[in-house]
């Protein structure tokens, strides 16, 4: 079985001898071989190296790795028969340029034998995700999807957004394609079912209903506005709705509303009307909703100008729960089927699958993928240690040709083509702006990686340094970084010292990293251009720090705000030139302003989050053994955490609901200054 990520587009030969002597005889016969003089020396060396490893390759299913001289993993592949697959790389002719480069760079090979092709597919996807080989198809965005969680670790279950490992006990509904989609659904579900969204500590310390109860977004179980038994009925209704029983839920609410109106209970009838309206809003906002497909994942791939776009739609409970576009890194010589197959193996290495997977193109390893998804559904999750929770039934991977399923695929395919077209247009515009920026600041070529730095603090406290990154694909948010600025040597409010610490930490680490110059397609880790939000002082600090780190070929530019901080009147500081300004309507100026504003937004947002956390942190939360009930008792008795910290041991022991052991624990905690 050929891997969907197989780099060799030539068919495998089943007649390759298993005996080394026969293999050597065939290779010397000249079949399929380019004359020695026509092959580059690097390719000849790679072929010779692969031949030397061929005799140790397993004669069965497994995974192989091709490794460069510096230890970098170039490619991870799988095969039904690894020995035959490796033999296909020993030809000097018939390879596309990508495979020839891979063979030329190979200095070592590693083989792993497995029992079945399914095991090989699972192992291959895990290794690709971990090692990120540059000759494999790589899924660029592997961020986890948000889910709706109805927690089951409390008498009054909480409804909340969840992302990450499913360590908390409860019912998970999803995936939703974006945070925006799950927030919209949560907002409507709160209006429809009045489930609480507050954390347990907030719930335990309520003495009267909060604002959400007043605006009819919560039933108020915290203060007994609704009994736990009645609240459980609301939870059951919410679960029914999220599992596809929306019609029965709406019919039941409509019947209750009619009964309330007949009894002249108009306020209750109005509340039920509002809940029915909220349910209608959820269903009406889903866009395309299937009638015969209850639960499915839909993937469609489009290719244009050597780029690929995979559009994923998620349907649950007969509703469209959103879509997300992916732009995998793949060689343009690969077909849509190969890229889609490789992408799915990596995608489902992290995400649970629906019982039905619909594809726009037929993939070669469809049956193996079905087996792998079934095995993964039964096996414990590496994150939680428990199975994925899917029913123990086969997962179907189909490429429908007619009917509603085909309509869903066509809808996804249309979106993939449109998204890819927009992406290509944006990248073209971005490349022109990068070229203009390179010419403006005297760079020999267009910058591939731009780093922009900014600091944010409040009177020197909660100081944050922020770095944003931009490249040919726009803002590269996966590369953004924040720095907690600290140290006795830094005077609060000293922007120069703060900038020096941030840049020293960044450039020192960068200087230690081995930059892989061989892979011209990978996004570089070393910047071509560094923009500093600041004037002459910050600019000089950046130059000194860069020189001390030993990095070369990195341009530094300082951007000083204009008079009265007016946009369009910025002054630029570049080494070897006098400070200058740009014309007010220069496209390059607008581009620089966008970069600076993004850095400012990122720095301010991170600083505010840190400051908010410091404001809302309760010292009592840091004491192990003091739960919500005892914390509430202490606060009711003393009024504030500061008063608790200054209380005598005898006073703490007299607090109702706090025993002597807990009182001593609290007293010693504050006496130690923890």
Domain boundary among 576, 594, 614: 614
CA–CA dist 20, 9 (Å, integer):
25
**139 lies in some domain:** no
Residues 30 and 66 in one domain: yes
Q: How many domains does the chain have?
A: 5
Structure tokens at 119: 């095991």
Q: What pLDDT score was predicted for residue 298? A: 94
User: Quick one: pLDDT at residue 385?
Assistant: 39
Residues 175 and 208 in one domain: yes
* 567 shares its domain with 471: yes
Lowest mean pLDDT among 319-323, 523-527, 612-616, 625-629: 612-616
The DSSP result for 291-320, as a single string, is SS-SSEEEEEEEEETTEEEEEEEEEETTEE
Q: Is the pTM of this model over 0.75?
A: no
Residues 6 or more apart in contact with residue 199 via CB below 8 angstroms:
158
Q: Is residue 404 part of a domain?
A: yes
Q: What is the pLDDT of residue 564?
A: 57
**What letters, b where the CB count within 10 A reaches 16 and e where it falls short, cover 277-302?**
ebbeebbeebeeebeebbbbbbbbbb
- With respect to residue 7, please indicate whether it lies within any of the assigned structural domains: no
- Does the pLDDT value for residue 146 go beyond 60? yes
DSSP H or E segment with residue 497: helix 495-512
CA distance 270 to 264: 11
pLDDT > 60? residue 8:
no
Torsion of CA 116, 122, 124, 130, to 10 degrees: -150
State whether 226 and 356 are in the same domain.
no
Q: Label residue 301 by pLDDT band (50, 70, 90).
A: very high
Give the CA distances from residue 430 to residues 135, 436, 448, 554, in Å, rounded to whole numbers and listed in that order. Answer: 25, 10, 11, 20
Q: Are residues 305 and 255 in the same domain?
A: no
Cα–Cα distance, 566 to 497 (Å, whole number): 26
The parent domain of residue 389 ranges over 296-420
Claim to verify: residue 569 and residue 628 sit in the same structural domain: no
| Distance, CA of 230 to CA of 162 (rounded, Å) | 25
Does one domain contain both 390 and 469? no
Q: Is residue 98 part of a domain?
A: yes
118 CB neighbour count, 10 Å cutoff: 21
Tens digits of per-residue pLDDT, 370-416?
Answer: 888 888 776 644 433 344 444 456 788 999 998 889 999 999 999 99
Q: Is residue 349 assigned to a domain?
A: yes
Q: What's the pLDDT band for 566 if we cut at 50, 70, 90? A: low
Residue 13 lies in a domain: no
Instruction: For residue 38, give the CATH number of its domain.
Output: 3.40.1440.10
Domain final residue, candidates 262, 284, 306:
284
Is the pLDDT score of 285 beyond 60? no
Domain of 309: which CATH number? 3.30.420
122 with 188, same domain: the answer is: no
Domain boundary among 389, 420, 451: 420
Residue-level pLDDT at 391 = 45
The predicted-structure confidence for 635-651, as pLDDT tens digits, reads as follows 777 777 777 878 888 88
Q: Would 5 be classed as within a structural domain?
A: no
State the CATH number of the domain containing residue 592.
Answer: 3.30.420.340
Q: Do 278 and 301 belong together in one domain?
A: no
* pLDDT (tens digit per residue) in 224-247: 898 999 899 888 888 877 776 656
CATH number of the domain where residue 651 is located: 1.10.150.20
Query: According to the model, what pLDDT value does residue 35 have?
Result: 43
Distances (CA, A) of 253 to 302, 319, 433, 434: 44, 20, 57, 58
Residue 531's DSSP bridge partners are: 452, 557
* Rounded distance between C-alpha atoms, residue 44 and residue 632, angstroms: 75
CA 650 to chain centre: 52
**One domain, residues 88 and 36:** yes
Is residue 316 domain-shared with residue 381, that is, in the same domain? yes
Question: Does residue 37 belong to any structural domain of this protein?
Answer: yes
Average pLDDT score, the chain? 80
Q: Is there a single domain that holds both residue 331 and residue 304?
A: yes
Residues 580-612: tens digit of each pLDDT: 888 877 888 888 888 988 998 998 888 888 777
């Amino acid at each position: 079985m050929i891997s969907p990520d197989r780099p060799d587009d030539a068919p495998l030969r089943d007649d390759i001898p298993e005996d080394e002597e026969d293999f050597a005889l065939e290779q010397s016969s000249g079949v399929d071989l380019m004359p020695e003089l026509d092959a580059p020396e690097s390719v000849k060396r790679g072929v010779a190296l692969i031949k030397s490893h061929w005799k140790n390759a397993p004669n069965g299913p497994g995974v192989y790795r091709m490794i460069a001289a510096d230890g970098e993993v170039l490619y991870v592949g799988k095969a039904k028969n690894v020995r035959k697959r490796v033999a296909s790389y020993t030809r000097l002719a018939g390879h596309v340029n990508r495979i020839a480069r891979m063979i030329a760079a190979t200095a070592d090979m590693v083989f792993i034998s497995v029992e079945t092709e399914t095991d090989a597919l699972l192992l291959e996807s895990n290794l690709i995700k971990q090692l990120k080989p540059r000759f494999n198809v790589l899924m660029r965005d592997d961020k986890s999807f948000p889910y709706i969680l109805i927690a089951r670790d409390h008498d009054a279950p909480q409804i909340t957004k969840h992302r990450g490992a499913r360590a908390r006990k409860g019912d998970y509904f999803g995936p939703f394609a974006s945070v925006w989609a799950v927030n919209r659904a949560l907002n409507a579900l709160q209006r429809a079912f009045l489930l609480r969204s507050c954390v347990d500590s907030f719930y335990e310390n309520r003495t009267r209903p909060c604002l959400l109860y007043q605006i009819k977004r919560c039933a108020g179980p915290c203060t007994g506005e609704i009994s736990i038994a009645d609240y459980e009925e609301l939870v059951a209704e919410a679960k029914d709705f999220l599992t596809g029983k929306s019609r029965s839920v709406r019919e039941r609410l409509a019947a209750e509303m009619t009964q309330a109106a007949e009894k002249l209970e108009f306020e209750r009838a109005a509340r039920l009307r509002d809940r029915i309206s909220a349910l209608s809003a959820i269903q009406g906002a889903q866009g395309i909703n299937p009638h015969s497909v209850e639960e499915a994942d839909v993937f469609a791939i489009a290719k244009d100008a050597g780029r690929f776009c995979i559009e994923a739609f998620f349907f649950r409970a007969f509703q469209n729960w959103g879509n997300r576009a992916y732009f995998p890194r793949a060689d343009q010589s690969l077909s849509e089927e190969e890229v889609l197959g490789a992408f799915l193996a990596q995608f489902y290495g992290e995400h649970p699958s629906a019982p039905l997977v619909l594809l726009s193109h037929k993939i070669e390893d469809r049956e193996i993928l079905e087996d792998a998804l079934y095995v993964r559904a039964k096996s414990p999750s590496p994150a939680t240690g428990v199975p994925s929770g899917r029913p123990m039934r086969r997962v179907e991977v189909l490429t429908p040709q007619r009917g509603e399923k085909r309509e869903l695929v066509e809808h996804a395919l249309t979106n993939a083509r449109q998204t890819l077209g927009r992406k290509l247009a944006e990248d073209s515009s971005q490349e022109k702006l990068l070229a203009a920026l390179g010419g403006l600041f005297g760079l020999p070529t267009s910058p591939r990686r731009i780093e922009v730095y900014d600091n944010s603090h409040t009177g020197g406290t909660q100081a944050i340094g922020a770095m944003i990154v931009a490249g040919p694909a726009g803002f590269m948010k996966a590369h953004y970084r924040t720095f907690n600025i600290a140290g006795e040597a830094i005077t609060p409010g000293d922007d120069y010292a703060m900038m020096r610490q941030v840049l020293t930490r960044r450039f020192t680490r960068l200087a230690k990293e081995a930059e892989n110059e061989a892979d011209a397609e990978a996004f570089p880790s070393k910047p071509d251009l560094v923009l500093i939000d600041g004037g002459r002082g910050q600019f000089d600090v950046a130059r000194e720090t860069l020189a001390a780190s030993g990095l070369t070929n990195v341009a530094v530019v300082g951007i000083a705000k204009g008079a009265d901080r007016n946009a369009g009147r910025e002054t630029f500081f570049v080494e070897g030139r006098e400070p200058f300004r740009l014309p007010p309507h220069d496209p390059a100026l607008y581009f620089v302003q966008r970069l600076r504003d993004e850095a400012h937004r990122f720095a301010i947002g991170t600083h505010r989050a840190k400051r908010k956390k410091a404001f809302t942190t309760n010292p009592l939360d840091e004491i192990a053994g003091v739960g919500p009930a005892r914390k509430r008792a202490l606060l009711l008795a003393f009024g504030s955490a500061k008063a608790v910290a200054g209380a005598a041991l005898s006073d703490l022991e007299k607090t109702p609901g706090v025993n002597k052991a807990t009182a001593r624990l609290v007293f010693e905690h504050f006496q130690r200054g923890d």
